[in-house]
Amino acid sequence: MSEEEICWNEGSFLAQLYSSPIPHGQFGHIATLHRLASYLDDEVQCKITSAQRTEFLRAYYTRTLQFLISNINADWIQHITAAQRTELWDGLFLRGPPDQALLVLMDAIGSISPSAGLDHLVSILERFLQSGRLTVLLWSRCQETAPSDSPQLRETLLGRLVALPDLTANKLHPHNKTVFLPQQYYPLLASGMLTALERTCQALRGLDCSLAFVALTLGKACVQGHIFEVLAPTLSSSTSSDMVWQRVCWKLLENVPERWLESVLTGLVQAVNRPDTLSRIMGNLVLKNKKAHFVITHKLLLLQYKYETRVLRVVLGYLADDRERRPLLLQVLRALCQAWANPSAVRHTTLEQQLYVSRALLLCVALLDDAELKELRSELLQCMLGGMQSHLDSSVVRVRRMGMVVGECLSSRMDIDGAKLKFEYEQDEETKELLSLLAPPSEETKPVAGPQDPPREVEVQTVQSQAAAARTSAAVPDSDLDSDDELTPYDMSGDQEMSPAAPPRYLRDCLEAFLSSEDPVRVELSLRAVEGLVRKNPSTAREVSVELSKVLLHMEDRYGTEGFLSLRRSAMVALAVTHPVAFLTTEFYSMNYSLRQRLDMLEVLATSAQELSQPITDKGVPSKGIRAVTVDAPPYPDDDTTHWRQVVERRIQSKTKLLSKGVTRPPAKPTPNRFAPVAGHYFFPLLRNYDRPQVTFDLLGSDHLVLGRLIHTLGLMMHLAVNAPVATQMAYLNAGMVRRGVLFAVCSVFLSMPSQSLLVELSDQLFETRAWLADVAEGDPDADCRSLAVQSLVLLEKSLKTELDPTALGLQS
């Protein structure tokens, strides 16, 4: 295509979205969004042809959404109005192909950390569901006679579509949206499926449609929840009068994969209330599909026993409802007779399962006609005699009673020569229920929605928040107005200027602002909020502590922010306290740091160590606002500021002589020193490379300012680690380190100062220095210290030989 047509790639047109600075590029970005929206709207009169629009939707729509999401924190997005964002930015997700939009939104929500961008995407997904985009998605798939995507992509879409409540709950809990909850979402999905089926019924009169994807959705959704509670009433009413609806339902169930067919059938038989309803929805699926045959004729009747009697009546009535399915009813009856008369089953199965089989047997016998009874009389007689014997031999009263009741019912139904069995037993609810199963179905099994009832529709309530301020102005003549002099001016001295932007609520938003934003207001708000967010969300702070510490350490005051240094230092201290790892200590000797940054590291380490060493009290400090109100609020005129009890107490104390006072307050509650467990991580890395000069950093050379600050910080850490188990090792290493540093400094002094200046300015300290050096050279446990002391003595003697007789100062060796 030519450049005038579609020129879509990240290097050209898409890059225009974020290439220009703010605010000069803001209107350009809005124009670009308008152009993007024109590719999604067929009604817009523009130069875009149908072929270009189709190509964009096929090849570039997903990439466009991904590009927008990757730059969701761009500065210009924060400056456009809410209406523009809703219409242009959000509209791109709500007007394009819904399957692509859903995949992009779900992937982004699953990968983005808690931030304002995540909240924005969640709100778009919420509108996506509430605006009926699920219906559009399902219907668009029905219009495809052949799959247009790969099986892997289709499976991914199916997983996102059906597991949306689980995915959002795992990501957003406990801030999940109501529409994402299973009790809200699955009815919404069922409503979309019903609409897609209805449109399919209407379109089949002239077009070909495919139910493959809807069948996949139905099967996977039935594994997650019973959506037939919503589907069954509408399917029942629609299939009762429309043969096209019946054929659509049959085709839908035939396309359900076998791995999900059991969940679909069990959900369906529990949702319908009449056998004829199940017949209209299922058709002869039990004859065409082996899995359906196994589930309906065997698993629901013999292997499981958790369903109500109504479900058994529906399943068996479904088999008896059609001439082609009638042989299956006889097959089921034979299997039930064998299970009920089996002595081993009577002894080893639970009472609930035996009762379940007894119910199914009686319901099945009640559905037989006279010809079938005559055909099966010998088998039923054998079942009755053998089964009664097995049940009557049991020591359990309920089992014996169950055998009596079933035997009576079978003999009554077979009517053998007019003879009927009759036992004496105590009747209860269980026996009454079994006896009633031979009677015809009662009125309670009517369908949920009959032909005369309108289809049950699922209404999706769209919550729209509209804020409208009603302002009423009355036009009155100027002569009726009072004088402005009588109006008391409003005190606006305490008003504060409103910030044009809201402070960030997530740490990752702050990090994003520091890394990419060029907006001074946004950067300042992030800098002021970051400390509170770190202390409020320690788990999130641990995840971003290293990256955020790096950014803050290299951050410069580009916009003249008031209190920049203190805000930056407080944020770094909060990070070090929340996640006291040795990042700053290991970075202290790294390359590409200035002396100012290294001093900042030492200051942060010292301050965080002090905070960690302080005990945490349970008493909360009242906020400034509360204290101000408490102090400034004037008392009422009738209130006495001094309570009478206080007056009496003061008088008693003034006239009482106290020899001594006991403990006036309870002893302080001991609290652990939080610095003790991490003191080694603070201390030892700072001693690792002190004697290894680097290209830009030499502690023992020109960078003596940092050396002094380092020794001071080490001493402070030593003091704060009082009673810590590692304090002994720290003290030993610290003492040797300090002595070596001091001896090196003394060597440097003797080597650098002229002999005359050394004698004039340091004459009073030479004798004391010489004695100390001699003691170190003879008795210091550190070999390096002894060597440095000897070198210092040699340098001192050599330096003074030219000025004085060394014997006069007692320096002769």
The pLDDT tens digits for 161-211 are: 999 999 999 999 888 999 999 999 999 999 999 999 999 999 987 788 899
pLDDT-wise least confident of 386-390, 502-506, 797-801: 797-801
Rounded to an integer, what distance in angstroms lies between the CA atom of residue 364 and that of residue 318? 11
The first and second tokens of residue 162, run together, are 């059906």
| For residue 495, pLDDT beyond 60 | no
- 212 with 252: CB under 8 angstroms? no
Q: Which pLDDT does position 260 carry in this prediction?
A: 94
In whole angstroms, give the CA distance from residue 727 to residue 733: 10
Phi and psi at residue 65, to the nearest 5°: -65, -40
What radius of gyration, in Å, describes the C-alpha atoms of the chain? 43
Asked whether the predicted pLDDT for residue 348 surpasses 80, the reply is: yes
- For residue 416, what are the β-bridge partners? 419
Tens digit of pLDDT for each residue in 319-337?
A: 999 999 999 999 999 999 9
Beta bridge partner(s), residue 419: 416
Residue 180 exposure: Cα atoms within 13 Å on the Cβ side: 24
Q: Based on the number of CB atoms within 10 Å of its own CB, is 156 exposed (0-12), middle (13-18) or buried (19 or more)? A: middle
Give the mean pLDDT of 499-507.
79
CB 545 within 8 Å of CB 579? yes
Tally the C-alpha atoms within 13 A of residue 761's C-alpha that lie toward its C-beta: 8
Answer yes or no: is pLDDT of 494 > 70.
no
The answer to whether the predicted template modeling score (pTM) of the entire model surpasses 0.85 is no
752: tokens are 């650098």
pLDDT of amino acid 637: 40
Query: What DSSP element (H or E) covers 499?
Result: none
pLDDT at residue 25 above 90? no
CA dihedral 793, 798, 803, 805 (to 10 degrees): 70
Amino acid identity at 450: G
**Structure tokens given for 582:** 């040795």
pLDDT at 622 over 50: no
Query: CA 724, CA 674: separation in Å to the nearest integer?
Result: 10
SS3 584: helix
Measured CA to CA in angstroms, residue 365 lies from 322, 361, 374, 403 at distances of: 17, 6, 12, 16
Using one digit for the tens of pLDDT, what is the confidence trace for 736-794?
A: 666 777 787 788 777 777 777 777 777 777 778 888 888 888 888 888 888 988 988 88
**Range 250-259 average pLDDT:** 94
Inter-residue contact 278 to 269 (CB < 8 Å):
yes
Looking at the chain, the whole-number percentage of residues with pLDDT higher than 90 is: 35
The residue that leads in pLDDT, 737 or 139, is 139
- Residue 292 vs residue 730, higher pLDDT: 292
Mean pLDDT of 512-519: 88
The pLDDT tens digits of the residues spanning 266-313 come to 999 999 999 999 999 999 999 999 999 999 999 999 998 899 999 999
Write the burial class of residue 481 (CB in 10 Å: 0-12 exposed, 13-18 middle, 19+ buried). Answer: exposed
Confidence of residue 45 (pLDDT cuts 50, 70, 90): low
Least confident of 255-264, 391-400, 589-598: 589-598
Residue with tokens 């190509």: 55
Determine contact, residues 388/380, Cβ cutoff 8 Å.
no
Residue 128 · residue 102 · CB < 8 Å: yes
> Residue 33 — pLDDT band, cuts 50, 70, 90?
confident
pLDDT score at 266: 94
Nearest to 164 by CA among 215, 122, 113, 114: 122
Q: What does each C-alpha distance from 409 to 106, 415, 417, 433, 440 come to in angstroms?
A: 58, 10, 15, 12, 14
Please report the pLDDT score of residue 810 as a whole number. 47
Mean pLDDT, range 22-26, rounded to an integer: 45
Residue predicted with more confidence, 646 or 263 = 263
DSSP 8-class letter at 455:
P
User: Cα(353)–Cα(361) distance, rounded to whole angstroms?
Assistant: 12
C-alpha neighbours within 13 Å on the C-beta side of residue 513: 27
Read off the pLDDT band of 63 (50, 70, 90): very high
| Cβ(140)–Cβ(200) below 8 Å | no
Confidence class of residue 122 from pLDDT cuts 50, 70 and 90? very high
pLDDT, average across residues 690-703: 70
Find tokens 């959002």 and name the residue.
Answer: 168
Q: Which residues of 735-774 are buried (b: 16+ CB within 10 A; e: fewer)?
A: ebbebbbebbebbebbeeeebeebbeeeeeebeebbebbe
Q: What is the mean pLDDT of the chain?
A: 80
The answer to whether residue 146 scores a pLDDT higher than 90 is no
pLDDT in tens, 392-412: 988 888 999 999 999 888 888
Distance CA 680, CA 664 (A): 39
Q: Which two tokens stand for residue 690?
A: 């002190």
- Give the mean pLDDT of 239-247: 92
Q: Which residue has the higher pLDDT, 805 or 635?
A: 805
Q: What is the pLDDT of residue 733?
A: 58
Q: Is the pLDDT of residue 703 over 90?
A: no
